[in-house]
Chain A
Amino acid sequence: MKSATVKNFRYQSAFGEMTFDSVTVLIPDEFGPRQASAAKALEGVDFSIPVPELKRMERELALAFFSRAYRAIMNDERTISVAELRGIQDILDVNRSELGKLLGLHKGSVTNLFKGKAMKASLCMLIMERLGMELGRPGSARHMIDGGNPERQVPAARRVINQARYPSGDEAA
C-alpha cells in the first residue's frame, strides 16, 4: 500500500459533512498517484483512511458542531441527539462507563441516554463542556478519568471554543 493525498475529500460523521482540502489515504500499489489526487477517482477503489487522519477530520467536524450548537444548547433551544452523543464519545475516546464518570452519571443512565432518553439542558451543557475541554486540549478527558499527561493545547481550537462561549468578546469579564 502507499499513501496518496486526495483533494476536496468529503467526509461525513454524526456532526455533519465537511469537505477537506487535502486528506492522506492509503491506496493499493497498482493505483496511480495522479488518479488518486481527485476524490472522484477513488470510487470503487479499496482505499483506507489512517487513524490520525480520521481523528483530525472528526475533530474538525466536532469543532464546527461545537461552535454551531453551543449557544442553542445553552439557551435550551436544542438538545444533543443520540448520533451526536456517539460522536462525542468517539472524540473523548472513552467507553460508556468512563463517559458516566465524566458526566457524574451511573453507567445505566448513560445507556438510557444512548437509547434516546430525553436529556436535561444542564446535562447537555455538561456534555458540551466536556467536548470543548477535549477539543481545546486533546487527552483532557482521559486525564480526568485516570491521570496522565494531556497533550498540548490546540490554540486554533481554543479560539473557536472561546468564540462560541463568549460571542461578544466578554471573555475577560
Chain B
Amino acid sequence: MTIIKLKSNLLDIFPDDIHRSTLINDNEFYIQVDSRSIVKICTYLNGELGYALLTIFANDERTLTGKYAIYYGFADRKKSQLIIIKTEIAPTAMSFQSISAKVHAASSYEREIKDLFGLIPLGHPDAKRLVLHGNWPNGIYPLRKDYDLHHKPHFSKKETKFKKITGEGVFEIPVGPVHAGIIEPGHFRFSLAGEPILNLEAQLYYVHKGIEKMAESMSIEKCFYLSERISGDETFTNSLAYCQAIEKIAGVEVPPRAEYMRVLFAELERLTSHLGDLAGICLDVAYGFAAFQFRMMRGWTYLIADDLCGMRFLRSVNKPGGLRMEFLESKEKSLIDQLMKIKKELEDTVVIIKQNTMFIDRVENTGILKSAIAFDLNAVGPGGRASGISHDVRKNFPYAAYDKLTFDTPNYVDGDVNSRMRVKLDECFISISLMLQVIETMPKGPIKESLPKLLSHQVAFGMTEAPRGENIHWIMTGENETIFRYKIRTPSFCNWPALCYAVSGNIVPDFPLINKSFNLSYAGNDL
C-alpha cells in the first residue's frame, strides 16, 4: 500500500483520531494520533495490514511541546516504508493505553518505557520491572530530562519476583548471572518437571550502562564512538546505523566508494560473528574438531580485519559522511586470497559436519521456534529466517551498496537449531560472495563527505542488518550539534523473548545449544 493510499485509508476508518501526518526522509511516514485511539490504530496496522511492530519508544519532549511523546514504529517491509504512530501524553496523565494484549511484540517495549520514563502502560498483562532491578529505589526515571546523568541513587533491597509454576514435582533451577562459560551476564530461571523445561524466565539488564541517557546532550562526533560500543561484535553495523541516521538528517550523499566499502566491512563482521556462533554450537555438543575448525576460520577473519584497518573489531573505521580513510588500496589481491582460503576451508568443514549423524541428531528438532510465535514476537535475523520469516533489511530497506549487488536470503521453515545453523552457514558463503563482488565492482573515488551544520530537533531512522538481524536506531538532534534522543533497538531485544519460547519442552542440557544458535547480545539488549 502506498503512503497516499494508506493515508486516505486511515482517514476513512479513523476520521476523528488522526491529528496530522508528515512524510520525511523519503520513507518515514509520521502520523500523530489521539492517545485514546492508539490501541485500535495499532491493532489495525499490525493485525489487519500485517505491518510488523519494529519498536516503541518514548521521548521526553516537555521542553518542546510540554508533553511526553510515544512513538510506535511499524514497517511495511514489502514497500520499504516505515509508518510511525506518534501520540502525546500530558504530564498530568502519566499513563498510556497498553497495546500488548493485541500486539504481543509490544510487551517489553512498554515495560521499558515504564521503567525509564515512569509512564504507566494501562492494561498491560505483566507490567513488572524490566530494566531496573530490585536494587533501584522507587521513583527513579533516568530518561526524563530532569534526571541528572551522574546521579547514582541509593541501593534498595527488593526481591525480583519470578513467575511461579506450581504443581507436583515442579522445581526451579536458577542460573547466572555469572556463568560457567566466557559469556555475558544474565540470570535464567528454569521451571522444570523432570528433565523438560516448562518455563524459562530470563532476567537481563545486568549490563545496563545507561547508553541512551549518556548519548543525550553528547556532541554528534562523540556519540558516534558511543554507538560503536553498544555491542562489541556488532561494532560496525551499529556505527553504520548511527551514521545513516545522521547522514539522512544532514542530507548528505555518501560517495559510492564508501558505500561499497561499508558493505565489505559489514559482511566481514557478519562472517566473523557467524563463524563464532558455529564454533559455539559445535563446542556445546562437545564436537571439538568442528569447533576448532570454525575458530581457526574466525581467527583468519580477524587477521583480515587487522590487515585492513589495524582494529580487530572494526572500530574507528566508519565516520558520519563516509569512512575514516582509504583502507583497501593495494590490498585487494591478498584479501581475495584470504577469502578464498576461508571459503575452501568452510566448504570442506560443512561436508564433514553434515555427514556426522551424531551431531545432526543433537541439533535437529532441538529448540523449535514456531513460525506463528516468531511472527508475533517479530523475531528477526537468522532466528526469524530459520522459522520462515524471510525478512532481511539488506533486501527490504536497501542501504549502502546492497541494491547494486546480487545475493539471496536463506530461508528455512523448521525453526530448530539445525535450521538456524544452516541459515548461518549459508550466510557465511553469501558474505564471502558479497565481499568478492565488492572488490570486483567497487568504483574509485573519494571516501568521505564533510557534514554541514545540523539543524536542531530533526529526526531520522538508521536501519541495518546486523549479524543477529534487524538493527534500528532513531535519532533526534538537539541544539548545537548534539543529540536530543538516541533510541537503539538491536536485534537481540526482539529475539530474547523468542528464545524463551524456543526452549520450552527441551531438556536443560540443550539450553546452551539453543542459546548459542540464537547467540544474542546481552550488551546490545541491556544498553
Are A and B interaction partners?
no
